[in-house]
């Protein structure tokens, strides 16, 4: 049994790219205790620890971790917020139910975040949700005002999905647990 303090040290090693794979595997092996350590990592003073903790939680999370990620949506560092937006919403990387109503949180990020990459991530995640008129309405409004071409592309794609009423079907499920360090393709797209 790995002690909690040891797991907290493992979380700190996530920032070192040479140690990251081993650290992620150790957290994965620890199960809920590993998820709990990564959840604590979201409060770490080093933003890189917060960022990689949020990334770990994309593939390994539970209700408590997802609840805690809501607070990280307001992290002062954009790269931490970007992973929080991704991990709280990305369904291809999850196996369980998400107890959080993510849509209003994503709309707020897509509207208000000062970092364009965070806004793009929020728009991609909105596009991928089940067809929802709230999202279609929001994306139409966004297209009337948004000037960033990449964000507009994601918004147009999302609008087609949400106006059609047909959910986005994808082969992205293959990403699930393909690798403990799989950086989700949806994250790279932004
Ligand atoms: Zn993902």
CA of residue 183 to ligand 1 center, whole Å: 7
The candidate with the shortest Cα–Cα distance to 86, out of 112, 63, 120, is 120
The helix/strand/coil state of 185 is helix
Ligand 1 centre distance from Cα of residue 20 (Å)? 17
Residues within 5 A (CB) of ion ligand 1: 58, 90, 93, 184
User: What is the pLDDT, as a whole number, of residue 4?
Assistant: 76
pLDDT digits (tens, 9 = 90+) for 80-103: 999 999 999 988 777 778 889 999
- Nearest Cα residue to 24 out of 10, 41, 36: 10
CA of 61 to the centre of ligand 1 (A): 12
Distance CA 144, CA 152 (A): 9
- Listed in sequence order, the residues at least 6 apart from 103 whose beta carbon sits closer than 8 Å to its beta carbon are 126, 129, 132, 134, 135
Ligand 1 midpoint to CA 86 (Å):
6
Q: From ligand 1's centre to the CA of 177, what distance in Å?
A: 10
Contact in structure between 141 and 168 (CB atoms under 8 Å)? no
CATH code of the domain in which 111 resides: 1.25.10.10
With bands split at pLDDT 50, 70 and 90, how would you rate the model's confidence at 2? low
C-alpha of residue 11 to centroid of ligand 1, in Å: 19
Between the CA of 93 and the centroid of ligand 1 the distance, in Å, is: 5
pLDDT of residue 173: 47
- Within 8 A by CB and 6+ apart from 69, the residues are 42, 54, 57, 61, 84, 87, 88
Give the domain range for residue 143: 4-188
Give residue 95 CA to ligand 1 midpoint distance, Å.
11
* Of 55, 72, 1, 9, the residue nearest 32 (C-alpha): 1
Distance from the CA of 91 to the center of ligand 1, in angstroms?
7
Report how many domains make up the chain: 1
Centroid of ligand 1 to alpha carbon of 55 (angstroms):
8
Per-residue confidence band for 174, with pLDDT thresholds at 50, 70 and 90: very low
Q: Per-residue confidence at 189, pLDDT binned at 50, 70, 90?
A: low
State pTM to two decimals: 0.88
182 within 8 A of 109, measured Cβ to Cβ: no
Average pLDDT, the chain: 88
**pLDDT number for residue 180:** 45
Confidence of residue 177 (pLDDT cuts 50, 70, 90): very low
Q: Distance from the CA of 88 to the center of ligand 1, in angstroms?
A: 9
């Amino acid at each position: 049994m790995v002690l909690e303090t040891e797991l907290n040290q493992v979380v700190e090693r996530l920032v070192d790219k040479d140690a990251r794979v081993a650290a992620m595997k150790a957290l994965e092996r620890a199960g809920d205790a590993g998820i709990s350590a990564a959840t604590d990592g979201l409060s770490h003073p080093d933003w890189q620890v917060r960022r990689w903790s949020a990334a770990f939680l994309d593939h390994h999370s539970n209700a408590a971790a997802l609840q805690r990620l809501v607070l990280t949506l307001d992290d002062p560092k954009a790269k931490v917020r970007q992973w929080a937006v991704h991990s709280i919403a990305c369904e291809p990387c999850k196996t369980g139910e998400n107890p959080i109503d993510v849509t209003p949180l994503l709309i707020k990020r897509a509207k208000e975040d000062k970092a364009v990459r965070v806004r793009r991530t929020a728009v991609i995640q909105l596009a991928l949700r089940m067809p929802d008129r709230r999202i279609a309405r929001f994306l139409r409004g966004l297209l009337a005002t948004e000037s960033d071409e990449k964000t507009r592309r994601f918004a147009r794609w999302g609008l087609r999905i949400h106006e059609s009423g047909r959910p986005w079907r994808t082969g992205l499920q293959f990403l699930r647990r393909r690798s403990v360090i799989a950086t989700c393709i949806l994250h790279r797209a932004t």
